[in-house]
Amino acid sequence: MLKKNLRRLLYLLVAVVVFPAFSGSYEDYFRAIENNDHRAVAALLGRGFDPNTRDERGQVGLFLAFRSGSLEVAQVLAAHPQLQVDAANSLGETPLMMAALRGRLEWCGRLLDLGAKIDRDGWTPLHYAATGPEYRVVELLLNRGAAIDALSPDRETPLMMATRFGSEASVGLLLSRGAATGLRNARGQRAADVARSVGRDALAERLERATR
């Protein structure tokens, strides 16, 4: 009986002390990130909310902030001493990858300075940068030592990603830095074949000339 009463008392204490502090915080946190409400995020973190909390799909807040363009929230999160800057989701994607995909040059530099890994097994930040709109992010990662011919799980190289989705400036930069044009992906395609498959025929011819 005494133990039962003690357990009930403990439960009541938790309900009074803990639940008001964090009731609804999970939903509020991710809503604030989506809306770039940096004040709400800062307030939650100040109350002890974990900046590395994941949403129901396994995404951390910093990744989501870059995905939604909530850069003021990103500023708050990046300044938190407990932030795990390289936290990856189930696909192995990190905040640096999303910043690279979105072409956030300054942020990519900051994340690297905070310790984000420039190379990973499988998909790398350079693959994502090559897919995105900003060739200067590609340049930054190469200057920091990114593996130029990194292979994804289906053997896609950054050059292939730039050829399929990215800018011609990124393609040109990768070629000028010595990216291999003769590698083949899991479908047997070289970069020139990839370009032709998406209707970028002029780019395919350029890549063919570089392969000879």
Residue ranges per domain, the chain? 1-82, 94-212
Question: Do residues 101 and 132 lie in contact, with contact meaning Cβ atoms separated by under 8 Å?
Answer: yes
Whether 13 has a pLDDT exceeding 90, the answer reads no
**SS3 assignment, position 60:** strand
- The model's pTM is 0.87
Whether 7 has a pLDDT exceeding 50, the answer reads no
pLDDT at 192: 97
Of all residues in the chain, what percent carry a pLDDT higher than 90? Answer: 87
Give the mean pLDDT of 15-29: 61
Fold: same for 1-82 and 94-212: yes
- Mean pLDDT taken over the chain: 91
What confidence tier does 212 reach under pLDDT thresholds 50, 70, 90?
low
Which residues are paired to 54 by β-bridges?
60
Query: How many other β-carbons are positioned within 10 Å of the β-carbon of residue 201?
Result: 11
Give the mean pLDDT of 24-43: 95
pLDDT at 42: 97
Give the mean pLDDT of 61-89: 97
Span 35-50, pLDDT tens digits: 999 999 999 999 999 9
Whether 2 has a pLDDT exceeding 70, the answer reads no
Span 122-180, pLDDT tens digits: 999 999 999 999 999 999 999 999 999 999 999 999 999 999 999 999 999 999 999 99
Q: How far apart are the C-alpha atoms of 148 and 144, rounded to whole Å?
A: 11
pLDDT at 152: 97
Least confident among 13-27, 31-45, 75-89: 13-27
The amino acid at 123: W
Which CATH architecture fits 1-82?
Alpha Horseshoe (1.25)
**SS3 assignment, position 154:** coil
Question: Do residues 110 and 150 lie in contact, with contact meaning Cβ atoms separated by under 8 Å?
Answer: no
What confidence tier does 211 reach under pLDDT thresholds 50, 70, 90?
confident
CATH of domain 94-212: 1.25.40.20
